[in-house]
Structure 1
Amino acid sequence: MNPDLTLPYEGESPSFASRPVWCGRGSTVIGAARIGDQAWLGDAAVIRADGQRVTLGDRFWLGHRSTVHIATFTHGTTCGDRVTVGRNSVLHACTIGADVVVEDDVVILDGSSIGDGAVIEAGATVFPRSDLAGGFAYAGSPAKAVRPITPGEAAERAERVRERSAEGLGADPEPPQDLDPDVFVARTARLRGRVGLGAGASVLFCCALEAEAGPIVVGADTNIQDNTVIRSRGEGVVIGRDTTIAHNVRIADSRIGARSLIGIGAVIAPGTLIADDVMVAAGATTDPGQILESGHLWGGRPARILGPLDAERRSMMLRIVESYCRHGREYRAAQEELAG
Structure 2
Amino acid sequence: MLRTALEKDTRVTPDLILPYDGVQPDFVSRPVWCGRGSTVIGAARIGAQAWIGDEAVIRADGQTVILGDRFWLGHRSTVHIATRTHGTRVGDRVTVGRNSVVHACTLGSDVVVEDDVVILDGAEVGDGAVIEAGSTVFPRATLPGGYAYAGSPARPSRAIGADEIAERAERLRERMGDGSALPPGEVSEVDDSVFVARNARLRGRVSLGAGASVLFCCDLNAEVGPIVVGADTNIQDNTVIRTRADGVVIGRDTTIAHNVRISDCRIGARSLIGIGATIASGTLIADDVMLAAGATTDSGQILEAGYLWGGRPARILGPLDAEKRAMMIRIVEGYCQHGREYRAAQEASE
Q: TM-score range by the shorter chain?
A: over 0.9
Is the partner of 1:195 in helix, strand or coil?
strand
Matched, 1:173 2:184: yes
Matched, 1:85 2:96: yes
Which of residues 30, 38, 54 in structure 1 aligns to 2:65?
A: 54
User: TM-score if structure 2 supplies the norm length?
Assistant: 0.96
1:286-305: CA deviation from partner (whole Å, max 9, x where unpaired): 00110000000000000000
What amino acid is the match of 2:295?
Answer: A
Q: Take 1:250 and 1:59, find their aligned partners in 2: how far apart are those partners?
A: 29
Q: Which residue of 1 aligns with 2:14?
A: 3
Q: Which residue of 2 aligns with 1:216?
A: 227
Q: Take 1:51 and 1:170, find their aligned partners in 2: how far apart are those partners?
A: 28
Matched, 1:248 2:248: no
Asked if structure 2 preserves the Cα contact closer than 8 Å seen for 1:175 and 1:187, the reply is no
- The alpha carbon displacement at 1:7 in A equals 0.4
CA gap of 1:20–1:276, structure 2 versus 1, over 3 A, is closer
- The alpha carbon displacement at 1:151 in A equals 4.0
Structure 1: stretches of 5+ with no match in the other structure: none
Q: Which residue of 2 aligns with 1:182?
A: 193
What amino acid is the match of 1:326?
Answer: Q
Q: How does 1:295-306 map to 2 (within 5 A)?
A: 295-306=306-317
1:47-101: CA deviation from partner (whole Å, max 9, x where unpaired): 0000000000111000000000001011100111000000000000000000000
Asked if structure 1 preserves the Cα contact closer than 8 Å seen for 2:96 and 2:113, the reply is yes
Indicate the percent of aligned positions where both proteins have the same amino acid.
Answer: 78
Q: How does 1:86-165 map to 2 (within 5 A)?
A: 86-165=97-176
Deviates more, 1:16-25 or 1:300-309: 16-25
Q: Which residue of 2 aligns with 1:70?
A: 81
Q: Which residue of 2 aligns with 1:200?
A: 211
Asked if structure 1 preserves the Cα contact closer than 8 Å seen for 2:128 and 2:162, the reply is no
Matched, 1:328 2:339: yes
Asked if structure 2 preserves the Cα contact closer than 8 Å seen for 1:49 and 1:70, the reply is yes
What amino acid is the match of 1:113?
Answer: E
Q: How does 1:257-272 map to 2 (within 5 A)?
A: 257-272=268-283
Q: Which residue of 2 aligns with 1:45?
A: 56
Is the partner of 2:221 in helix, strand or coil?
strand
Asked if structure 2 preserves the Cα contact closer than 8 Å seen for 1:197 and 1:219, the reply is yes
Asked if structure 2 preserves the Cα contact closer than 8 Å seen for 1:207 and 1:225, the reply is yes
What amino acid is the match of 1:202?
Answer: S
Which of residues 276, 284, 293 in structure 2 aligns to 1:273?
A: 284
Asked if structure 1 preserves the Cα contact closer than 8 Å seen for 2:13 and 2:31, the reply is no
Deviates more, 1:92-101 or 1:162-171: 162-171
Q: Take 2:162 and 2:88, find their aligned partners in 1: how far apart are those partners?
A: 27
1:269-319: CA deviation from partner (whole Å, max 9, x where unpaired): 000000000000000000011000000000000000000001110000000
Q: Which residue of 1 aligns with 2:5?
A: none
What amino acid is the match of 1:307?
Answer: G
- The number of residues matched between the two structures is 339
Structure 2: stretches of 5+ with no match in the other structure: 1-11
Q: Take 1:314 and 1:127, find their aligned partners in 2: how far apart are those partners?
A: 20
Q: Which residue of 2 aligns with 1:28?
A: 39
1:228-286: CA deviation from partner (whole Å, max 9, x where unpaired): 00000110000000000000000000000000000000000000000000000000000
What amino acid is the match of 2:285?
Answer: I
